[in-house]
Amino acid sequence: MHDAHEHVSLPQHRHHFETEEQQREAGSFGMWLFLLTEIMFFGGLFFSYLLYRNWYYPAFAAASNQLNVPMGAANTAILITSGFFMALGVWAAEMRKRQMLVWMLVLTTVFGCAFIGVKYFEYKEKYELHHIPGANFSVAMFVNPQNYPQYPDTYSEKPLAPDMAQKTQVFFFLYFAMTGMHALHMIIGIGLLFWLTWRAWRGDFSSGYVAPIENFGLYWHFVDIVWLFLFPLLYLINRHPLH
Amino acid sequence: MADEIHSDIHSDAHDPSNVTNPEHAEHHIVSPLQYCLVFATLLVGTAITVWAAYIDLGWANPVIALFIACFKACIVILFFMHAKYQSRLIKMTIGSGFFLFIVLITMTMTDYISRAWGTW
């Protein structure tokens, strides 16, 4: 035990903070402020989703049924697992376990990359089906669902009228904007993870200096949370045909 | 270990005016067991979300999906992001962010709904 009057000073302690604890709280506070701007940023996207889903519900339901639920659900589990290892990484840093911290960061990165990998195959499928909004967009699947028995949820849908079928472009635009922005956050996070893993391996975070790991953890969990909403809102609109 | 060092920082001996840590917030380390429980809950929540989506519940489908997503987000924020163990300043900051988001949606929706008031 330290004497109560001893001034505890760790090397990372900046002189303009009274105590380590104050510095730590200021850091968390700043990180949370940044995350609030992120809530507003994704909030705008979620809001436009809400409006257009109400306007063009049949198009949203039909387009949503083309998305791959097993892949989306697997990706949700992958991302939760990645977040779990990140949380354990924060614990390892708190406990000053250098080797465990490095391993947890590596596992976080591996699952993060797996998520991006699954996303690649999903995007590829959209590309092949001409479901990327723009000049090459095709409504074939939504005006003639009976031609697509390999997509059971689409196959059982009623055909959309051509004008409503065009509105599936709005869904796919939001799908790519929202999952794309989410994936961009993941890619930035994976880049930071490489840097943090190298620093953790060097021993930067195993002597009581946890702030970078903890604050990166906040960012990584925030990105998880965005996906927890994206998955049901994009993939599971109408998997229970009402007709 | 880490706990001992931090418990001493909270002593008032070198902080008579009580400015550095006015709430005497203890630095809490969430245990791996707790993380495992949260992890399991999140996976179960995901399974229930998918399962419920395939049952026809009419208007309740999106409500259930969003309720589960909100519940999952809450436990991630409380435990993975340690919000439960933070000072009131941080808790208020988090709360204000979500409150502002609700204001954003409500105000914009109010405008949107009232644009064509009486003309439908």
Q: How confident is the model at residue B119 (pLDDT cuts 50, 70, 90)?
A: confident
Residue B13, domain member (yes or no): no
A 10 A CB-CB count for A213 gives 24
How many domains does chain B divide into? 2
Mutate to test the interface with B, among A2, A6, A21, A107 (most CBs of B within 10 A): A21
The backbone region for A132, taken as left when phi is positive above 0, alpha when psi lies in -120 to 50, beta otherwise, is beta
Q: How far is the CA of B39 from the CAs of A4, B44, B86, in angstroms? A: 38, 9, 21
Whether residue A146 lies inside any domain: the answer is yes
B9 domain residue, yes or no: no
Question: Which among A225, A195, A199 has a CA at the least distance from the CA of A93?
Answer: A199
pLDDT band at A1 (very low <50, low <70, confident <90, very high): very low
- Mean pLDDT of chain A, nearest integer: 92
Q: How many domains does chain A have?
A: 1
Instruction: Give me the domain span that covers residue B50.
Output: 30-81
| A10 domain-assigned | no
Q: Residue A168 maps to which CATH number?
A: 1.20.120.80
B50 within a domain of the structure (yes/no): yes
Rounded to the nearest angstrom, the minimum Cα separation between A161 and chain B is: 23
Whether residue B34 sits in one domain with residue B71: yes
- Residue found under tokens 């609030």: A36
Q: Any idea which of A108-117, B2-11, B93-102 has the lowest mean pLDDT?
A: B2-11
Using one digit for the tens of pLDDT, what is the confidence trace for B82-100? 999 998 999 999 999 999 9
Nearest to A2 among B8, B94, B104 (CB): B8
Instruction: Give Cα separations from A59 to A46, A62, A65, A162 (angstroms).
Output: 17, 5, 10, 10
Torsion-angle region of residue B24: left (phi > 0), alpha (psi -120 to 50) or beta? left
- B11 in contact with A, Cβ within 8 Å: yes
Contact A228 B73 (CB under 8 A): yes
Q: So what's the pLDDT on residue B3?
A: 47
Provide Rg for chain B, Cα atoms. Answer: 22
Sign of CA dihedral B81, B85, B90, B96: positive
Grade residue B4 by pLDDT with cuts at 50, 70 and 90: very low
Structure-token match 């083309």, residue found = A66
Domain housing A78: 20-235
Q: What is the pLDDT of residue A240?
A: 78
The helices-and-strands tally (H runs, E runs) of chain B is 4, 0
Q: How many CA atoms lie within 13 A of B115 on its CB side?
A: 6
Residues A197, A151 contacting (CB under 8 angstroms): no
Neighboring chain A residues of B9 at a CB cutoff of 8 Å: 8, 19-21
Look up the pTM and report it.
0.88
Q: Structure tokens of B91?
A: 């808790």
Judging contacts by C-beta atoms under 8 Å, the chain A residues touching residue B77 are 221, 225
Q: How far is B88 from chain A (nearest CA, A)?
A: 11
The pLDDT of residue A23: 86
pLDDT tens for A174-226 read 999 999 999 999 999 999 999 999 999 999 999 888 999 999 999 999 999 99
Mean pLDDT of B41-50: 96
Reported confidence tier of residue A71, pLDDT bands at 50, 70, 90: very high
Task: Tell me which of B33, B80, B104 to substitute to probe the interface with A (most A C-beta atoms closer than 10 Å).
Answer: B80
B56 and chain A in contact, CB less than 8 A: yes
Asked whether the beta carbons of residue B39 and residue A84 sit closer than 8 angstroms, the reply is yes
- Chain-chain contact of B8 with A231 (C-beta, under 8 angstroms): no
pLDDT given at position A10: 66
Q: Is residue B11 part of a domain?
A: no
Among B1, B81, B100, whose Cβ lies nearest the Cβ of A218? B81
pLDDT category at A8 given cuts 50, 70, 90 is low
Confidence of residue B28 (pLDDT cuts 50, 70, 90): confident
Residues of B in contact with A240 (CB under 8 A): 53-57, 61
- Residues B37, B63 within the same domain: yes
Of B2, B66, B86, the CB nearest to A28: B86
Q: Residue B7 above 60 pLDDT?
A: no
Nearest to A236 among B53, B80, B87 (CB): B53
Report pLDDT for B12.
52
The shortest CB-CB distance from B9 to any of A1, A20, A35 is to A20
Mean of the pLDDT values across residues A56-78? 95
Neighbour tally for A120: CB within 10 Å:
11
The answer to whether residue B35 sits within a structural domain is: yes
Give the distance from CA B89 to its chain's centroid: 14
Say which range, A104-118, A213-227, B6-20, has the weakest mean pLDDT: B6-20
Regarding predicted confidence, which is higher, B23 or A89?
A: A89
What's the CA angle centered on A113, arms A34 and A171, to 5 degrees? 70
The answer on pLDDT for B35 being more than 80 is yes
Q: What is the pLDDT of residue A212?
A: 94
Record: contact A1-B46, CB cut-off 8 A: no
- ipTM of the complex as predicted: 0.89
The answer as to whether B20 is a domain residue is no
Assigned domain for A4 exists = no
| Region A12-35 average pLDDT | 86
pLDDT of residue A11: 67
Q: Is residue B5 within 8 angstroms of chain A, CB to CB?
A: yes
Res. B2: pLDDT tops 80: no
Query: Does residue A188 fall inside a structural domain?
Result: yes
Contact A92/A210 with Cβ under 8 angstroms?
Answer: no
Residues 23-42 of B with CB under 8 A from A: 25, 27, 29-32, 35-36, 38-39, 42
So what's the pLDDT on residue A155? 84
Q: Do B93 and A231 touch (CB under 8 A)?
A: no
Query: What pLDDT score does B118 carry?
Result: 76
**What is the share, in percent, of chain A residues with pLDDT greater than 70?**
94
Q: Which of A95-109, A165-179, B48-62 has the lowest mean pLDDT?
A: B48-62
Tell me the nearest-neighbour CA distance from A31 into chain B, angstroms. 10
How distant, in Å, are the alpha carbons of A138, A143, A146, A175, B94 from that of A131? 6, 13, 17, 10, 37
